[in-house]
Amino acid sequence: MSNPPTKVPSHNPLPNKERVKLPRQRVPEQEPQVRAHNFQEVNLGFPEEQARQESLRCIECSKPGCIEKCPVSVDIRAVIDLILAGDYLGAASKVREDNALPAITGRVCPVDDQCESGCVLGKKGEPVGIAYLERFVADWERETGQFGSPVSAPATGKKVGLVGSGPASLACAGDLIQMGHQVHVFEALHELGGVLVYGIPEFRLPKEIVRHEIHVLQRRGVVFETNVVVGKTVTIDELMQDEGFDAMFIATGAGLPRFLKVPGEHFNGVYSANEFLTRVNLMRAYRFPEFDEPLYPCTDRDVIVVGGGNTAMDSVRSALRLGARSASIFYRRTLVEMPARKEEVHHAKDEGVHFEMLVNPVEFLGDEKGNLTAVKCIRQELGEPDDSGRRSPVPVNGSEFVTPCSVAIIAAGTSANPLIQSTTPGLATTKRGYISANEETLATSKPGVFAGGDIVTGGATVILAMGAGRKAAKSINAYLTGLVVVPN
Amino acid sequence: MFEIVEARTLARGIKLFVIEAPRIARKQKPGQFVILRLDDRGERIPLTIADADATAGTVTIVVQAIGKTTMLLSMLEAGDSILDMVGPLGKPSEIENFGTAVVVSGSVGTAMAYPTARELKRAGNKVISIVGARSKDLLVLEEEVRAVSDETYVVTDDGSYGDKGLVTDKLKELVAAGQVNYVLAVGPVPMMRAVANLTAPSKIKTMVSLNSIMVDGTGMCGGCRVLVNDSSQFACVDGPEFDATQVNFEVLMQRNNMYREQERASIERLQADPEAELKRIRDSVHSHECAAEAAAVSHE
């Protein structure tokens, strides 16, 4: 991690003043009217020529802000130069030195707040399309069937267990196998990938991409075991004492869905975003009856989604693709405070998603069969900033109104799943029930046990979870080679 | 892959499976359940564990063919494999010496109540079992239940075996006699609700095992939420057993009907060509077995 930017002779023939004049390349996308009715990927990615054109825009800063803003410090400047040199496999390998899942992060990273926000071009115009370039090299590698296989260190004979197969674990697995350790990943569900397969929809991250990245890890020797709920099927202590694991990394993800705790949430048609997305993505309910898992019907009905994050955007755009008559975001703040990626908000708008700002549900209404018929909301205005620095919504007295809807999806965040904490003696937790881990080492209060990702931080992003996975791999390696790791 | 080592029909439309699942067999306790999936396009369904053998590494489930997946599962035989099975999930039944414990079960619920009845007996309770079914040919595990109970009463709706009537008729007598300290009811929702209503006035501790619709079974989706004491509880992690007096059975029934039309469509699709569906799930399992072998070879 945090390699210093490599000094390379530039392959960019243009002087800087020419580079800054080049417009940012527009990535080809499926037309909004078309894509609103299918689950295929929206963003089609740069073709080779566009990737080269976009790469020409990089002015090769001596202190690249993009690398500074990347949670895993990918050497972006070097990657771009390798693209200009025409060495796409080399560019992919360069990304992989710091990022085990480039085809995934190139699609889902919140670049507005990370690499692209650090790009100096963004100060006067538009930043370099870094995520699109990362995706280009990763897709090129996969589509041409090539693989810049990193060489692993000699086998250490140490065995590490990873709990969960989401981004934190996959990143951790990539580094640990490289360091010569045996890696065994336990997954509770029947399919590998965690939030990458149950949470993020096909139109934003095709499952095939996730499967490929996992296959690469399998080829490098990582063992995956599905259908194991650690904490229920087997405990952390049993794995370490009876099954010979020398260290464990807990990365079980976000956990329990938060409901609004308003009357009527039990009505048929009210979903947590977790359930709605799990049915659609993991279980492929959008292909019912070819696939068995049913979904409460959205076709020709009004769907509302409560929340303003990426999960809310994924839910509302999925509902639209399922044939909803109307699909609306109900958010208690305004567009400015919305935590979703800008690209997702734009995509949703283009596709016809309706945005209802400064509203908050106070009750769900249903019929005698228990089916949802409407939502009662109250309007909000923005008051003083809260802990998050965003202005907090305050209800406007007497502003209640009722909107008919058949499906309501609640994307109001998650809280800690206690499964592992409650079955692992000696594992300290925070006040909110997340696992306590040292910020630098990710060591928990229990020797040999490390934790990272959403189960430590609460709901965050794929790339932050990956950053935690890499940090944990480094600490686990130190722990296994006899160095002292600061416990929490 | 989870191999079926034994499969036999217990009653009309009800089949018992012994399945190789060493991790689950080692950890399971009475009252817990598994979630299984038969093939790549399959749904995930919860099924209560009826028995287990930690030494042999097997768990036993009893399945009534009422939906697409349970119908397909009932077509499988020893030697077949189940693609995915995860567990044990949920909290185990509360086992202590209550005094006199009455275990009321209806239909296939008897298979789910049986391991708890056995543990209650072991804990020193006087166990009275009331086993109900619509008719004699739907009755299961009567011998097993008798073996772990001090008293066993069988009732059928149509009087084709045992007493004619409802399980609550018998329970009413026992409650009136004033000797009951604990009741567990497992079966159809109307039966569990009737039991709850019956014991509520006497304040006898009464538990019911809820059969809500689930997806992941680990608390992640919240689909199985039930109203207990007017607040949302997740049957998969907070249950499946809850205090009967606090359960909103009306909401449970409504939520269990949520996908009724899709369920009907799935059954029709299956019944149009059951053999083709059976072949499809066997092929699906086979292709996963091949992939697993290939992965194992590439690691060597």
DSSP assignment of A412-475? --EE---TTGGGSTT--B-TTSPBP--TTT-B-SSTTEEE-THHHHSS--HHHHHHHHHHHHHH
Quote the minimal CA–CA distance from B115 to chain A in Å. 19
Residue A415 pLDDT > 60: yes
Stretch 119-138 of chain B: residues touching chain A, C-beta under 8 Å:
none
Q: Name the CATH topology of A16-143.
A: Fumarate Reductase Iron-sulfur Protein; Chain B, domain 2 (1.10.1060)
Residues of chain B contacting A283 with CB distance shorter than 8 Å: 43-44, 215
Q: Which residue has the tokens 């409504």?
A: B254
Return d(Cα B64, Cα A230) in angstroms, integer.
29
Are A159-255+416-480 and A257-413 in the same CATH fold?
yes
Mean pLDDT, range B101-106, rounded to an integer: 95
**Residue to test with chain B: of A292, A406, A415, most B Cβ within 10 A:** A292
Q: Do B130 and B104 contact (CB within 8 A), yes or no?
A: yes
Measure CA A150 to chain center.
25
pLDDT of residue A220: 85
Return d(Cα B57, Cα B53) in angstroms, integer.
6
Stretch 22-41 of chain B: residues touching chain A, C-beta under 8 Å:
23-24, 27, 37, 41
Which of B270, B85, B134 shows the shortest CA–CA distance to A189? B85
Q: At what angle do helices B189-199 and B249-256 cross, to 10 degrees?
A: 180
Each residue of A195-228: b (16+ CB within 10 Å) or e?
Answer: bbbbbbbbbbbbbebbebbbebbbebbbbbebbb
Residue A6 pLDDT > 70: no
Quote the minimal CA–CA distance from A37 to chain B in Å. 21
**B155, containing H or E segment:** strand B151-156
Length of chain A as a residue count: 488
Each residue of A375-388: b (16+ CB within 10 Å) or e?
Answer: bbbbbbebeeeeee
Least confident of A4-8, B180-184, B200-204, B255-259: A4-8
Residues of chain B contacting A216 with CB distance shorter than 8 Å: none
**Using CB atoms, which residue from A223, A290, A419 is nearest to B218?**
A419
Measure CA B271 to chain center.
24
Q: Does B263 touch chain A (CB under 8 A)?
A: yes
**Using CB atoms, which residue from A279, A294, A295 is nearest to B263?**
A294
DSSP assignment of A44-69? ----HHHHHHHHTT----SS-HHHHH
DSSP assignment of B63-83? EE--SHHHHHHHT--BTBEES
Give the list of residues 6+ apart from residue B210 with CB closer than 8 angstroms, or none.
B192, B226, B235, B239, B240, B241, B242, B247, B252
Give per-residue pLDDT as tens, B128-140.
Answer: 999 999 999 999 9
B219 with A417: Cβ contact below 8 A: yes
CB atoms within 10 A of CB A28: 11
For chain A, the domains span 16-143, 159-255+416-480, 257-413
A229 with B223: Cβ contact below 8 A: no
Q: Does B85 touch chain A (CB under 8 A)?
A: yes
pLDDT of residue A463: 85
**Residue to test with chain A: of B44, B220, B225, most A Cβ within 10 A:** B220
Stretch 190-209 of chain B: residues touching chain A, C-beta under 8 Å:
none
Q: How many CB pairs under 8 A join A and B?
A: 125
Phi/psi for A139 (5° steps) reads -70, -35
Residues of chain B contacting A306 with CB distance shorter than 8 Å: none
Residue A343 pLDDT > 90: no
Residue A2 pLDDT > 70: no
Quote the minimal CA–CA distance from A439 to chain B in Å. 26
Mean pLDDT, range A194-212, rounded to an integer: 93
pLDDT of residue A44: 93
Residues of chain B contacting A296 with CB distance shorter than 8 Å: 258-259
Q: Does B298 touch chain A (CB under 8 A)?
A: yes
pLDDT-based confidence at residue A486 (cuts at 50, 70, 90) = low
pLDDT of residue A196: 95
∠ CA A60-A64-A65, rounded to 5°: 135
Q: Which residue of B has its CA nearest to A420?
A: B218
Q: At what angle do helices A342-351 and A310-321 cross, to 10 degrees?
A: 20
Name the burial class of residue A33, with classes exposed (0-12), middle (13-18) and buried (19+) by CB atoms within 10 angstroms of its CB: exposed
A283 with B223: Cβ contact below 8 A: no
Q: Domain B1-90: which CATH class?
A: mainly beta
Return d(Cα B85, Cα B3) in angstroms, integer.
10
- Strand residues in A286-390 grouped as ranges (E): 302-306, 326-331, 354-357, 359-366, 372-385
Q: Do A131 and A433 contact (CB within 8 A), yes or no?
A: no
Q: Which residue of B has its CA nearest to A367?
A: B254
B221 with A278: Cβ contact below 8 A: yes
Quote the minimal CA–CA distance from B43 to chain A in Å. 5
pLDDT of residue A71: 84
DSSP assignment of A65-94? HHHHH-TT---HHHHHHHHHTT-HHHHHHH
Measure CA B122 to chain center.
21
Q: Does B42 touch chain A (CB under 8 A)?
A: yes
Mean pLDDT, range B81-89, rounded to an integer: 96
pLDDT-based confidence at residue A145 (cuts at 50, 70, 90) = confident
CB atoms within 10 A of CB A448: 18
Q: Do A74 and A137 contact (CB within 8 A), yes or no?
A: no
pLDDT of residue A110: 82
pTM of structure = 0.91
Residues of chain A contacting B234 with CB distance shorter than 8 Å: 256
pLDDT of residue A488: 59
Phi-psi region of A419 (alpha: psi -120 to 50; beta: other; left: phi over 0): alpha
Whether a cis peptide bond, with omega within 30° of 0, leads into A32 is no
Return d(Cα A480, Cα A472) in angstroms, integer.
12
CATH homologous superfamily of domain A257-413? FAD/NAD(P)-binding domain (3.50.50.60)
Residue A365 pLDDT > 90: yes
Q: Does B52 touch chain A (CB under 8 A)?
A: no
Return d(Cα B248, Cα B260) in angstroms, integer.
20
What's the whole-number average pLDDT of chain A? Answer: 92
Residue A132 pLDDT > 90: yes
Return d(Cα A62, Cα A2) in angstroms, integer.
15
Taking the C-alpha atoms of B14, B20, B22 and B28 in order, what is their torsion angle to the nearest 10 degrees? Answer: 0
Residues of chain B contacting A256 with CB distance shorter than 8 Å: 219-220, 222, 234
A229 with B299: Cβ contact below 8 A: no
DSSP assignment of A177-203? HHTT-EEEEE-SSSSSSTHHHHTS-TT
pLDDT-based confidence at residue A276 (cuts at 50, 70, 90) = very high
**Residue to test with chain B: of A147, A190, A364, most B Cβ within 10 A:** A190
Return d(Cα A316, Cα B261) in angstroms, integer.
24
Return d(Cα A43, Cα A103) in angstroms, integer.
13
Mean pLDDT, range B31-43, rounded to an integer: 95
- Strand residues in B157-243 grouped as ranges (E): 163-164, 182-186, 205-209, 225-228, 231-234, 241-243
Residues of chain A contacting B27 with CB distance shorter than 8 Å: 232-234
Query: What CATH number belongs to B100-256?
Result: 3.40.50.80
A417 with B218: Cβ contact below 8 A: yes
Which of B282, B29, B38, B79 shows the shortest CA–CA distance to A190? B38
Taking the C-alpha atoms of A467, A472, A473 and A476 in order, what is their torsion angle to the nearest 10 degrees? Answer: 170
Give per-residue pLDDT as tens, A22-48.
Answer: 999 999 999 999 999 999 999 999 999
Name the burial class of residue B8, with classes exposed (0-12), middle (13-18) and buried (19+) by CB atoms within 10 angstroms of its CB: exposed
B37 with A190: Cβ contact below 8 A: yes
pLDDT of residue A8: 53
Helices (H) and strands (E) in chain B, counts: 9, 16
**B143, containing H or E segment:** helix B142-148
A296 with B295: Cβ contact below 8 A: no
pLDDT-based confidence at residue A388 (cuts at 50, 70, 90) = confident
A314 or A178: which leads in pLDDT: A314
CATH homologous superfamily of domain A159-255+416-480? FAD/NAD(P)-binding domain (3.50.50.60)
Q: Does B118 touch chain A (CB under 8 A)?
A: no
For chain B, the domains span 1-90, 100-256
Residue A1 pLDDT > 50: no
Give per-residue pLDDT as tens, B174-212.
Answer: 999 988 999 999 999 999 999 999 999 999 999 999 989
Residue B262 pLDDT > 90: yes
Residues of chain A contacting B229 with CB distance shorter than 8 Å: none
